[in-house]
Amino acid sequence: MSNENKLVSIENVVKHFDISGGLLDQITLKGGLHLKKTTVKAVNNVTLSIKSGETLSVVGESGCGKSTLARVVMGLYPPTAGEVYFKGDRIDNLNHKKWLPYRTKMQMIFQDPYASLNPRKTVRQTLEEPLRFHNPKMTLAQATDKIDEVMEQVGVDPAWIRRYPHEFSGGQRQRISIARGLILDPEFIVADEPVSALDVSIQAQILNLLMDLADKRNLTYLFITHDLSVVHHISTRVAVMYLGTLCELASASDLFHEPRHPYTRALLSAIPKVGEKKAKHVKMKGEVPTPVNLPSGCVFHGRCLYADERCSREVPKFLELENGSFVACHAVEEGRSID
């Protein structure tokens, strides 16, 4: 991928949380008195580039580290290791002041608009504050025009700007939080489960809106979801994550038609196909391990039907296949059958 094409680059990002608690919580008496640190290994060595104009979706089960990765990209968490770049500028190590210019270019939309919108602020206040903060010379008339334009783009009547979040339906509230994400004319949006809290009928409307906005505004999305069925039609590429690690990265069409990693196959098998009454569920053995005690070798080996001795010992490399997809799996690398 050429450098100019990369809008955001995530390089070898690791994010661990120390949840040891206070000194008393850390004391263990095993073979004498010791202090024991407890670390959640939420994201482990993730490398990913997001191309200008694409929608890159990150999918995986609850707790696999999707939101943590999104927060590291947005500068909300400092990474434990690794680097994040926006248009070639390193952004993971910036202080608050140096981050400000990137705030206008990179925005985030969250799952629950009710929680992410301030209930005590009208829509106008919610949209005007960031606008005025980042454009101190903007006149009141200019701000009003901008707010009206964005409200119309997200499909909410600008006449309602004096209302509070609780006066809107869930779908309308999510439209308003999208408006807040757009008000500074960003180039890049991280959408973390933006439709998961909505009724299925509303989900499609919001997804269509996001895609429409991408076209009109030439936006690039990092789209986070646990629901593979949501990403099929909106994604340019899809990255599959398991226990903080990337398993597969492929174009949406390759991923849905020819998934290569055993975990991707199992995830996809849970979605019923058109014409099928019930999904042909590929079973996984065992339970999802905790990110406190990561398995050795391939993190998926305890649940994988194709695991062998090498899998429990050696971390698989994220290798490029002939079709341009990337897969981290010894069986795929060795050409073993996983049908």
Ligand X SMILES: Nc1ncnc2c1ncn2[C@@H]1O[C@H](COP(=O)(O)OP(=O)(O)OP(=O)(O)O)[C@@H](O)[C@H]1O
19 contributes a contact to ligand X by CB under 6 A: yes
**With respect to ligand SF4, which residue has the nearer C-beta, 175 or 330?**
330
67 contributes a contact to Mg ion by CB under 5 A: yes
> What distance in Å separates the CA atoms of residue 183 and residue 102, rounded to the nearest whole number?
14
Under 8 Å between Cβ of 239 and 58: yes
**With respect to Mg ion, which residue has the nearer C-beta, 194 or 262?**
194
How many other CB atoms sit within 10 Å of the CB of residue 66? 25
| Angle, in degrees to the nearest 10, between helices 170-182 and 200-217 | 20
Q: Pairing state of beta strands 237-242 and 55-59?
A: parallel
Q: Give the one entry of ligand X, Mg ion, ligand SF4, none that residue 316 binds, where binding means its C-beta sits below a cut-off of 5 to 8 angstroms depending on kind.
A: ligand SF4
Site for ligand SF4 in 224-283 (CB under 6 A): 262
**With respect to ligand X, which residue has the nearer C-beta, 43 or 332?**
43
Under 8 Å between Cβ of 85 and 5: no
Binding mask 235-274 for ligand X (x = CB under 6 A): ----------------------------------------
Q: Give the one entry of ligand SF4, Mg ion, ligand X, none that residue 113 binds, where binding means its C-beta sits below a cut-off of 5 to 8 angstroms depending on kind.
A: none
Binding mask 299-338 for ligand SF4 (x = CB under 6 A): -xx--x-xx---x----x------------xxx-------
**With respect to ligand SF4, which residue has the nearer C-beta, 278 or 285?**
285
Q: What is the DSSP letter of 200?
A: H
For residue 18, give Cα distances in angstroms to 22, 181, 292.
11, 31, 10
> What distance in Å separates the CA atoms of residue 270 and residue 240, rounded to the nearest whole number?
15
The continuous run of DSSP H or E covering 83 comes out as strand 81-86
Radius of gyration for the alpha carbons in the chain, expressed in angstroms and rounded: 22
Q: How many residues bind ligand SF4 (CB under 6 A)?
A: 12
Q: Give the one entry of ligand SF4, ligand X, Mg ion, none that residue 291 binds, where binding means its C-beta sits below a cut-off of 5 to 8 angstroms depending on kind.
A: ligand X
> What distance in Å separates the CA atoms of residue 137 and residue 88, rounded to the nearest whole number?
29
171 contributes a contact to ligand X by CB under 6 A: no
> What distance in Å separates the CA atoms of residue 62 and residue 133, rounded to the nearest whole number?
36
226 contributes a contact to ligand X by CB under 6 A: yes
Q: Which stretch binds Mg ion (CB under 5 A): 61-69, 88-96, 172-180, 263-271?
A: 61-69
> What distance in Å separates the CA atoms of residue 338 and residue 247, rounded to the nearest whole number?
15
17 contributes a contact to ligand X by CB under 6 A: yes
Interacting residues toward ligand SF4 by CB under 6 A: 262, 298, 300-301, 304, 306-307, 311, 316, 329-331
Binding site for Mg ion (CB under 5 A): 67
